[in-house]
Structure 1
Amino acid sequence: MYLINGERTETLAANDRAVQFGDGCFTTSRVSDGQVRFLEQHLIRLQQACEKLLIPFADWSRLKSEMQQLAATQQQAVLKVVITRGSGGRGYSAANCQQPTRILSVSAFPSFYPQWREEGISLALSPIQLGINPHLAGIKHLNRLEQVLIRTHLEQTQAQEALVLDSDGWLTECCAANLFWRKGTQVFTPYVDKSGVNGTMRQHIISCLAGSAWQLTQVRERVDTLAQADEVLICNALMPVVPVKQAESWQFESRELYQFLAPLCE
């Protein structure tokens, strides 16, 4: 089901900047019992991305209403919102773009997440590294070719998710999730100020840990730092938190941090 600028249609203008240049941003949220989980955080994420990309989107109240309306008909689903710069012009200049495009879609909730949470998952190191760009780091813009290639390579392995480095070799994230690991009471997560995505669930977990006995540090580390970890987990808005049982050759049995976070992230 698609809603484009308030109309039920799957037709997008061929000269929309999303098609021509990947010129836009998006967020993906979980719908549960007719409600968008962490709705305000998803709207803030879109606002911040539009500001960074200089997209003059202003219909935030209308967008929020449309998100709520689509969610109200769903028991369990995925709601994705895309904002593009709109249509206009042949080249890179955005001067002829008159109005941003908003695209909402609803799809089935992934059936495998409960099994992942119960059994844990495996991570494989991706050969695809993320480019470094501090201006675009953190936001979910529409240029996702890196993630497409990461997923394509991942599907050639037996792992469920990827360990992804940036082009300087620093551990950054997964293909479609953020990464946390624990050593004792110390919890670590990679910086995403040069590459990667600052996910809404990542932000929520950081907030939860700030008022707890766990001590969180954002770090730049090589992948072999996970060899010393007691526990590893990944997160995104849909999972929302999943324990890792194996990353490359390293295995993890503890779920202390996962058990603390899981009820706080529903």
Structure 2
Amino acid sequence: MAELNGKPVGVEALQSLALTNYGHFTSMRVEDGRVRGLSLHMERLQRDCETLFGAELDPERVRDLARRAVPSNGAAVVRVTVFDPDLDLGHPGSADAPRVLVTSRPAAGLPLPPIRVRSRTYTRDLPGVKSVGLFSSLHHRRTAQLDGFDDALFVDGRGAISEGGTWNIGFFDGDQVIWPESDCLPGVTMRLLQHSHAHVTRPVNLADLPRMRAAFATNAAVGVRAVSGIDTIVLPETHPVIDALRKEYLKVPGELL
């Protein structure tokens, strides 16, 4: 399913998005018509639309459009992408009339299996914006997979950990849950967990990993997923803290889309 402003999307509009690669999005896991953190997803879309296009986005209109992609029952991942099909590559300053592309796909069953990740030195452009510019993230993911890992974990030039390509990461040091203090996208799932589970936010470096007892990845599509290894560091595939975070996340009431 793919609709642009509530109508079947044409090739020209998709071609514009593919060739200019300028826009932003959010992905929501919809279960029986409800979304955990729906208001946070709408806040993100409004904030990023102002940043990239200097335009206001009506969240009620977005919800109306997104509802068209939701199955009558079961779970799906609905992606809302905001871009301007008329953007001129030579004059992006004129792009101020963004439209809403809604797509959907089946949601995977939870929980997903653990992942092993490889650290890569990289900081996204405008890390606070969930942009459609995924080239570097996917390149690092591909490189990690070719080296036998599942995904890439981003660090800065000093080894400070920030985020994965499409997910946040958290740690447990035996006493408390730790979210890295860094330039990264504040994910909706991460924010929901921060409201439901005691934690601290502080810098986490690669050198700190031998002292960690568990690590986990979070985003709206996967919920809470164990990270079983980072580079040569082996971490447990299961841990009571990860189980507790999953249960707390699933208890978060969904908002009606």
Fold similarity call, TM over 0.5: yes
Instruction: State whether structure 2 residue 221 is matched by structure 1 residue 238.
Output: yes
Unaligned runs of 5+ in 2: 251-257
TM-score by length of 1: 0.83
8 Å CA contact 2:182–2:203 kept in 1: the answer is no
The one-character-per-residue Cα deviations of 1:75-108 (angstroms, maximum 9, x if unpaired) are 221111100134143413422x462121000112
RMSD: 2.3
> Which residue is equivalent to 1:123?
117
Letter of the 1:106 partner, please give it: S
8 Å CA contact 1:35–1:72 kept in 2: the answer is no
> Which residue is equivalent to 2:167?
177
TM-score by length of 2: 0.86
Q: Once the 2 structures are TM-superposed, how far is the Cα of residue 71 of structure 1 from its aligned partner? A: 1.5
Residues in 1 aligned to 2:11 and 2:40: alpha-carbon distance in whole angstroms: 28
Q: Once the 2 structures are TM-superposed, how far is the Cα of residue 23 of structure 1 from its aligned partner? A: 2.0
> Which residue is equivalent to 1:101?
99
8 Å CA contact 1:201–1:237 kept in 2: the answer is yes
Q: Percent identity?
A: 21
- SS of structure 2 residue aligned to 1:70: coil
**Between 23-32 and 36-45, the greater mean CA deviation after superposition:** 36-45
The one-character-per-residue Cα deviations of 1:89-135 (angstroms, maximum 9, x if unpaired) are 3413422x462121000112235x5341xxx3322223xx32365xx
> Which residue is equivalent to 2:131?
141
- SS of structure 2 residue aligned to 1:155: helix
Residues in 2 aligned to 1:221 and 1:236: alpha-carbon distance in whole angstroms: 19
- SS of structure 2 residue aligned to 1:234: strand
Alpha carbons of structure 1 residues 10 and 160: separation in structure 2 relative to 1, 3 Å: farther
Runs of 4+ in 1 over 3 A off after TM superposition: 18-21
> Which residue is equivalent to 1:114?
111
8 Å CA contact 1:241–1:258 kept in 2: the answer is yes
The one-character-per-residue Cα deviations of 1:157-183 (angstroms, maximum 9, x if unpaired) are 333232221344321112221111111
- SS of structure 2 residue aligned to 1:42: helix
Residues in 1 aligned to 2:88 and 2:233: alpha-carbon distance in whole angstroms: 51
Alpha carbons of structure 1 residues 132 and 245: separation in structure 2 relative to 1, 3 Å: closer
Residues in 2 aligned to 1:64 and 1:107: alpha-carbon distance in whole angstroms: 17
Q: Once the 2 structures are TM-superposed, how far is the Cα of residue 156 of structure 1 from its aligned partner? A: 0.9
8 Å CA contact 1:26–1:46 kept in 2: the answer is yes
- SS of structure 2 residue aligned to 1:3: strand
- SS of structure 2 residue aligned to 1:62: helix
Instruction: State whether structure 2 residue 148 is matched by structure 1 residue 158.
Output: yes
The one-character-per-residue Cα deviations of 1:29-78 (angstroms, maximum 9, x if unpaired) are 11212333322221111111112224414332111112123224352211
Instruction: State whether structure 2 residue 51 is matched by structure 1 residue 61.
Output: no
Residues in 2 aligned to 1:163 and 1:88: alpha-carbon distance in whole angstroms: 32
Residues in 1 aligned to 2:112 and 2:216: alpha-carbon distance in whole angstroms: 15
Instruction: State whether structure 2 residue 189 is matched by structure 1 residue 201.
Output: yes
> Which residue is equivalent to 1:187?
177
Residues in 1 aligned to 2:36 and 2:55: alpha-carbon distance in whole angstroms: 26
Higher RCO (CA 8 Å, separation ≥ 6 residues): 2
Equivalent pairs, count: 249
